[in-house]
């Protein structure tokens, strides 16, 4: 499509569109950037400017914009079938996708349920966990546990298990009563340890919570190894092992939110692979379709599936549906993603490049007086900015330090979208070293402009 060059697209956008996660008043002096096309890890606007998409367009663009292999797969599918009701009907792309995913998922995950976005997958997983216990002689298990500072989506159920005030505070009167576990905080560890030298002493908080509430809890939701919206907080795999042991002891489902961490983001196909244990339910989205189409899944075990398998009149069926469940176009994109990843070369190359990325970030940013912590996992790198390096005191949020850096970086051709005052890089797996150099140089330049060394 060729855009009308005489039209003020940003002005027309503001006339009609209410953008997500935005204070629209900010747009008065910083109007939306209208993107014309994308290629690889770059986006190009209607004014001819280009931007390095170092956050993968909200963490979902896995293999670059307009990837030719994914493009071809979706184009081929659209001439055959665009969509069909997924109750009592199916299609080859959905079947093939599940068959292939079953081969790479953590052990025991074998039954797939389709939804159309990550929040919906979380909601469906919670409902399955609750219904399972109700149908297997444990009707007292009606609550859920989640970590402090968790983020699991923004529908009511998903928001309930979240704990980021920016999203949840206003809505607390209408949210579910969730049991909160004090989660790991490796930067401000109360035990004086760090993420590379500890025995996950913080898991004792989880043990205490399970002892008090385990008998009434259906499932524990966790973002494995990386709490994204909390500020890209990274914690050790051992913590997942200890949660697995607690869930087994108290008959609580371990529900893995791999929406942001799956598909190689942490250096392995799934974050749970680092721990060598399996969850009872895993939720997937974002990288699932390479960022092409809205689709999500929850995947569970044969044991959980069997608790719903009965004569219809028993009322044990899982009566949950989405109009676009199992959409063939999205499934075709997801199959293409697996095609690209199947020989392991993309992930291997990404892990090699991750070493370089982390090295240059530490070299460039660590000396700055306001850089408190640099944390890395896979190609993901996060830089927490603090007012005082020694005390780890944060800046007043009203200063919007991260937002100031974001605006300056956009003018210089780099798309950063900080989490508060945490600057992070979460690029497509195909990023090259020269792009890493450019992104980090611009980010450091903007940091110095906002916070002079």
Q: What DSSP string describes 162-205?
A: ---HHHHGGGGGGS---EEE----STT-TTS-BTTB---TTHHH
pLDDT digits (tens, 9 = 90+) for 325-338: 999 999 999 999 99
Task: Tell me the mean pLDDT in the region 102-112.
Answer: 98
* Separation between Cα atoms, residue 261 and residue 269, nearest integer Å: 9
Task: Tell me the mean pLDDT in the region 186-201.
Answer: 93
Question: For position 303, what pLDDT does the model report?
Answer: 98
Strands (E) across 285-379 are located at 296-300, 371-377
Which pLDDT band holds residue 453 (cuts at 50, 70, 90)? confident
pLDDT digits (tens, 9 = 90+) for 254-281: 999 999 999 999 999 999 999 999 999 9
Task: Tell me the mean pLDDT in the region 106-112.
Answer: 98
Q: Are 289 and 94 in contact (CB under 8 A)?
A: no
Question: For position 3, what pLDDT does the model report?
Answer: 54
Specify the DSSP class assigned to residue 244.
H
Going along the chain from its start, the domains and CATH numbers come out as: 33-66+344-450 (3.90.1150.10), 71-341 (3.40.640.10)
pLDDT digits (tens, 9 = 90+) for 159-173: 999 999 999 999 999
Question: For position 4, what pLDDT does the model report?
Answer: 62
Within 8 A by CB and 6+ apart from 173, the residues are none
Note the pTM of the prediction, 2 decimals.
0.96
CB atoms within 10 A of CB 89: 9
Which pLDDT band holds residue 48 (cuts at 50, 70, 90)? very high
Does 5 have pLDDT greater than 70? Answer: no
Does 11 have pLDDT greater than 90? Answer: yes
- What separation in angstroms does the CA of 263 have from each of 273, 346, 429? 11, 11, 10
Q: How many CA atoms lie within 13 A of 249 on its CB side?
A: 14
pLDDT digits (tens, 9 = 90+) for 298-313: 999 999 999 999 999 9
Question: For position 1, what pLDDT does the model report?
Answer: 47
């Amino acid at each position: 499509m060729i855009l009308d060059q005489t039209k003020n697209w940003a002005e027309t956008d503001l006339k009609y569109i209410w953008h997500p996660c935005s204070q629209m008043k900010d747009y008065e002096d910083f109007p939306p950037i209208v993107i014309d096309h994308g290629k690889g890890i770059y986006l190009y606007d209607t004014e001819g400017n280009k931007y390095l998409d170092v956050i993968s367009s909200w963490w979902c663009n896995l293999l670059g914009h307009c990837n030719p292999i994914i493009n071809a797969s979706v184009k081929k599918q659209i001439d055959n079938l665009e969509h069909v009701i997924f109750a009592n009907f199916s299609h080859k792309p959905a079947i093939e996708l599940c068959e292939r995913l079953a081969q790479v998922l953590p052990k025991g995950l074998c039954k797939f349920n389709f939804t159309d976005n990550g929040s919906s997958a979380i909601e469906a997983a919670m409902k399955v966990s609750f219904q399972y216990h109700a149908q297997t002689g444990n009707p007292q298990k009606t609550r859920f546990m989640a970590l402090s500072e968790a983020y699991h989506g923004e529908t009511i159920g998903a928001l309930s298990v979240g704990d980021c005030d920016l999203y949840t505070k206003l809505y607390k009167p209408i949210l579910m009563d969730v049991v909160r576990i004090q989660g790991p905080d490796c930067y401000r560890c109360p035990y004086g340890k760090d993420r590379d030298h500890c025995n996950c002493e913080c898991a004792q908080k989880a043990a205490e919570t399970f002892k008090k509430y385990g008998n009434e809890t259906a499932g524990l939701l966790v973002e494995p190894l990386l709490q994204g919206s909390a500020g890209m907080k990274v914690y050790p795999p051992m913590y997942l092992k200890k949660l697995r042991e607690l869930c087994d002891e108290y008959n609580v489902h371990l529900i893995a939110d791999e929406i942001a961490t799956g598909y190689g983001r942490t250096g392995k196909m799934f974050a749970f692979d680092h721990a060598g244990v399996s969850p009872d339910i895993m939720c997937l989205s974002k990288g699932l379709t390479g960022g092409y189409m809205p689709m999500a899944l929850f995947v569970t075990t044969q044991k959980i599936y069997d608790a719903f398998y009965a004569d219809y009149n028993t009322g044990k069926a899982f009566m949950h549906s989405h109009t676009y469940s199992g959409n063939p176009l999205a499934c075709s994109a997801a199959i293409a993603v697996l095609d690209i990843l199947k020989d392991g070369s993309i992930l291997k190359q990404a892990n090699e490049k991750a070493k370089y990325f982390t090295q240059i970030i530490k070299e460039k940013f660590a000396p700055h007086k306001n850089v408190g912590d640099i944390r890395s996992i896979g190609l993901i790198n996060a830089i927490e900015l603090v007012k005082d390096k020694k005390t780890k005191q944060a800046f007043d949020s009203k200063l919007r330090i991260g937002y100031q850096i974001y605006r300056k970086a956009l003018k210089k051709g780099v798309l950063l979208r900080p989490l508060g005052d945490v600057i992070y890089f979460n690029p497509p797996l195909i990023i090259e070293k020269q792009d890493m150099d450019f992104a980090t140089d611009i980010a450091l330049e903007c940091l110095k402009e906002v916070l002079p060394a």
